[in-house]
Amino acid sequence: MFVTHRKPSPGKVVSPRDVCPDTGLVRLSYGQARALLDAHTAVGGVAGTGWDLHEYRHFVSNLILSGILEFRDAAA
């Protein structure tokens, strides 16, 4: 799970599934994750030229399947 750098504001209703039990930080929204991934993978720093979340998911899946990256279940 990717989390933000901040805790939910007072009065904000957040599902317990969206809060990290260890840190209390809130899950990153899809829009935030998309923007961060694009910003950090942009070609030449040009916005909109980086990876999208679909490409990233397939890239990581291939690393796991090929044995290059180890998958660890956080719940285990």
Query: Could you tell me which of 23, 18, 20, 28 has the C-alpha nearest to residue 53?
Result: 28
Q: Which domain holds residue 63?
A: 1-76
Question: What pLDDT does 1 receive?
Answer: 60
Give residues with Cβ within 8 angstroms of 2, minimum separation 6: 27, 28, 33
| Residue 25 near residue 2, CB atoms below 8 Å | no
Q: pLDDT tens, 46-60?
A: 888 888 889 888 998
Q: pLDDT tens, 19-48?
A: 888 888 888 888 888 888 888 889 888 888
- Quote the tokens at residue 14: 């957040």
**Tally of domains in the chain:** 1
Q: What is the pTM of this model?
A: 0.62
